[in-house]
Amino acid sequence: MSDEKGMRNGLTNYGDRDFSAFLRRSFARSMGYSTESLAKPIVGIASTPSGFNNCHRTVPELVDAVSRGVLAAGGLPLTFPTTSLCEPFLKPTSMMFRNLMAMDTEEMVRAQPMDAVVLVGGCDKTVPAQLMGAASADIPAIQLVTGAMSTGRHRGERLGACTDCRRYWGRYRAGEVDKPEIDLVEGRLAATAGTCAVMGTASTMAIISEVLGIALPGSASIPAVMADRLVCAEMSGKRAVELIADPIRPSELITQKSVENALRVLMAVSGSTNAVVHLAAVAGRLGISISPERLNVISDETPVLVNLKPVGEGYMEDFHAAGGVGAVLRELKDLLHLDTKDILGGTLKERLDEPLEWVDRKYIYSFESPVSPVGGLIALSGNLAPDGAIFKRAAATPSLFEAEGRAVVFENLEDLANRIDDPDLDVEADDILVLKNAGPVGAGMPEAGYLPIPQKLAKRGVKDMVLISDARMSGTSFGTIALHISPEAAVGGPLAIVRSGDRIRLSVRDKRLELLVDQGEIEKRLSSWKPAVEPQRGYQALFHRTVNQAPEGCDFDFLTCEGETQSRQSSAFDREDVE
pLDDT tens digit sequence for 427-477: 999 999 999 999 999 999 999 999 999 999 999 999 999 999 999 998 888
d(CA 98, CA 133): 10
**Percent of the chain scored above 90 by pLDDT?**
91
**DSSP run (H or E) holding 516:** none
DSSP characters over 263-308: HHHHHHTT--THHHHHHHHHHHTTT----HHHHHHHHHHS-B-B-B
CATH number for the domain that contains residue 61? 3.40.50.2300
Question: Do residues 521 and 566 share a domain?
Answer: no
How high is the pLDDT of residue 579? Answer: 33
Read off φ and ψ for residue 266, nearest 5 degrees.
Answer: -55, -45
According to DSSP H, which parts of 30-87 are helical? 35-38, 59-72
Residue range 118-129: mean pLDDT, rounded:
96
Cα–Cα distances in angstroms (integers) from residue 233 to residues 206, 240, 324, 415, in the given order: 14, 11, 18, 46
d(CA 15, CA 20): 8
CATH number for the domain that contains residue 469? 3.50.30.80
How high is the pLDDT of residue 184? Answer: 94
Question: Do residues 546 and 440 share a domain?
Answer: no
Count of structural domains within the chain: 3
d(CA 530, CA 187): 46
Question: Do residues 507 and 562 share a domain?
Answer: no
Q: Which of 462, 491, 466 is nearest to 554 (CA)?
A: 491
Residue range 264-291: mean pLDDT, rounded:
96
What letter does residue 341 receive in the DSSP assignment? B
Q: Is residue 517 part of a domain?
A: yes
Q: Which of 143, 146, 144, 147 is nearest to 135 (CA)?
A: 143
d(CA 31, CA 26): 9
d(CA 480, CA 468): 9
Question: Do residues 419 and 478 share a domain?
Answer: yes
Question: Do residues 244 and 208 share a domain?
Answer: yes
Residue 353 neighbours by CB distance under 10 Å: 12
pLDDT tens digits, 248-264: 999 999 999 999 999 99
According to DSSP H, which parts of 149-226 are helical? 163-173, 179-186, 201-212
Question: Do residues 80 and 11 share a domain?
Answer: yes
Question: Do residues 570 and 507 share a domain?
Answer: no
How high is the pLDDT of residue 569? Answer: 44
Residue range 26-54: mean pLDDT, rounded:
95
Q: Is residue 22 part of a domain?
A: yes
Domain closes at, from 233, 257, 281: 257
Average predicted confidence (pLDDT) for the chain:
94
Question: Do residues 572 and 431 share a domain?
Answer: no
Residue range 138-166: mean pLDDT, rounded:
93
How high is the pLDDT of residue 562? Answer: 77
How open is the CA angle 374-316-128, to the nearest 5 degrees? 80
Question: Do residues 433 and 545 share a domain?
Answer: no
Q: Is residue 385 part of a domain?
A: yes
Question: Do residues 139 and 11 share a domain?
Answer: yes
Q: Is residue 76 part of a domain?
A: yes
Residue 383: pLDDT band with limits 50, 70, 90 = very high
Q: Is residue 344 part of a domain?
A: no
How high is the pLDDT of residue 567? Answer: 47
The answer to whether 225 and 193 are in contact (CB under 8 A) is yes
What letter does residue 452 receive in the DSSP assignment? P
Question: Do residues 554 and 523 share a domain?
Answer: no
pLDDT at residue 574 greater than cutoff 60 = no
- Print the domain residue range for 22: 6-257
The answer to whether 307 and 313 are in contact (CB under 8 A) is yes
pTM: 0.94
